[in-house]
Structure 1
Amino acid sequence: MHRWAISEREYARHEARRGRRHAYESLDPARTALVVVDLVPFFYEANETCYAITPNVRLLADVLRGAGGVVAWVVPGDPGPTTWAREFRGEEVAEMFRRSGGAGPIEGRLGPGLEAHDGDVLVEKTATSALFPGSSTLHDELRERDIETVVVTGTLTEVCVAGTARDAATLGYRTILVADATAGRDDESHNATLTTIYRTFGDVRSTDDVLGLVAAGCSVGT
């Protein structure tokens, strides 16, 4: 698990601006979606932190689903052999990433220990962000379900997770990135990304924090 942290300076900056540390101090579970980005075998093989975060991702999914929320599983799709990927990554690596999401039904392509349930959203993305226009059907799926809060987890923190979180904020979703349910290359990259998201795009919370928000939201609704 990453040793994650956001500096007190960053917390103090927002506390001075908005009068509180966290942007989102409550949520409506029924209008909340857990978005799990790229937790597929390809990335587990490259990054052992994926194994460490899996119990948290699974717990968040079970609890939010049980509270009436939405769980969305996002896996890499095959965009085809693009000129950009060949030029930027080189032929061999471009081909490797093109096939990183695996083949077959999406529910069978999730990483070890993860399981989609009936009613979950299953999408492929063909860009870094699952919410970049034309990348996937995720935005349409969330709008159909009247989602207002997006809780982002998965890998890599600094690439597809960050891209999805940034676009979620741009689209007007209340965006929360879960610090101990995301996996980056290393602690330094992970924490730099957490700081950027917290500073400019959304909230950064722990798994326990999000579970507490879900529980409190359920209490309000009873």
Structure 2
Amino acid sequence: MAADGQRRVHAWLIEDREYARQEARRGRRHAFGHLDPHRTALVVVDMVPFFVTQNEYCRGVVPNIGRIADTLRRAGGTVAWVLPGADGQPAVAVEFYGPRVAEMYRRSGGTGPLRDRLWHEFEIHDGDLLVEKTAASAFFPGRSPLPDLLAARGVDTVLITGTVTNVCYESSARDASTLGYRVIMVADANAALRDRDHNAALHTIYRTFGDVRPTVDVVAMIEAS
């Protein structure tokens, strides 16, 4: 993949005391030790130029997202690209952000065909899903077609990647868990603005809503199934 500015990957961390807590609770470190690729979807959240060009951590996770996507497709799984949608944003956004910033976020997903709005380094295949969301979460009822599309494919496990870790990504992971998905947060395939923001979100997901694994573990799980 071609370089587009400096790339960085977060120094991600789950504290030993949290690993110990989960091991004492369920007898193992990780909630999900295996997955069925045919029932698994890689969900890539908001990897569009608006976010990627502004954050070297976003550029840093592009290769890992691509590696997981290629591996999962070969194994018969689903890759879903989720973009910010311009229509359907709540009116309260203007009050909360102010009109200028609200409009900036409303337009953050770009215009034109969905394929053309993704970050240019990604390879989109015909079998991939391309959807918009009009909320922070890709899984909030009524704000994205993604849950229905995944249900139609029999998906029960989601590997959530993208940006921003502690905003749209974390919101998506929480709602996916509430809907009953097996959630795996890919620690080095998500990007925030700072390590501490990123790691706080990892901690929350690992503690309550899903598992947290690096790319190498996720790829090994796919290939072992």
Shorter-chain TM-score range: over 0.9
In 2, are the aligned partners of 1:169 and 1:201 still within 8 Å (CA)? yes
Partner residue of 1:12 out of 11, 20, 42: 20
In 2, are the aligned partners of 1:81 and 1:95 still within 8 Å (CA)? no
Partner residue, 1:174? 182
Q: Give identity over the alignment, percent.
A: 60
Q: Residue 21 in 1 paired to residue 45 in 2?
A: no
Segments of 4+ in structure 1 off by > 6 A? none
Across the aligned residues of Structure 1 and Structure 2, the Cα RMSD in angstroms comes to 0.8
CA deviation string 1:68-119 (max 9, x = no partner): 0000000000135642011000010000000000011111111131121011
In 2, are the aligned partners of 1:107 and 1:115 still within 8 Å (CA)? no
Partner Cα separation in structure 2 for residue 68 and residue 156 of structure 1: 28
Partner Cα separation in structure 1 for residue 85 and residue 67 of structure 2: 26
TM-score normalised to structure 1 length: 0.96
Partner Cα separation in structure 2 for residue 69 and residue 146 of structure 1: 10
Partner residue, 2:192? 184
Q: Residue 151 in 1 paired to residue 159 in 2?
A: yes
In 2, are the aligned partners of 1:80 and 1:98 still within 8 Å (CA)? no
Partner residue, 1:203? 211
SS in 1 for 2:126: coil
Partner Cα separation in structure 2 for residue 108 and residue 115 of structure 1: 11
Q: Quick one: which amino acid aligns to residue 10 of structure 1?
A: E
Partner residue, 1:40? 48
Partner residue of 2:148 out of 130, 140, 159: 140
Partner residue, 1:73? 81
Q: Quick one: which amino acid aligns to residue 145 of structure 1?
A: R
Partner residue of 1:129 out of 133, 137, 141: 137
In 2, are the aligned partners of 1:67 and 1:214 still within 8 Å (CA)? yes
CA deviation string 1:142-180 (max 9, x = no partner): 000000100000000000000000111000000000000
Unaligned runs of 5+ in 1: 218-222
Partner Cα separation in structure 2 for residue 105 and residue 112 of structure 1: 13
Relative to structure 1, is the Cα distance of residues 8 and 81 closer, same or farther in structure 2, using a 3 angstrom cutoff? Answer: closer
Partner residue of 2:72 out of 41, 44, 64: 64
Q: Quick one: which amino acid aligns to residue 99 of structure 1?
A: R
Aligned residues: 217
Q: Quick one: which amino acid aligns to residue 56 of structure 1?
A: N
Unaligned runs of 5+ in 2: 1-8
In 2, are the aligned partners of 1:154 and 1:181 still within 8 Å (CA)? yes
SS in 2 for 1:46: coil
SS in 2 for 1:135: coil
Q: Residue 98 in 1 paired to residue 124 in 2?
A: no
Structure 2 matches for 1:98-117, cutoff 5 A? 98-117=106-125
SS in 1 for 2:53: helix
User: How much does 1:187 deviate?
Assistant: 0.1
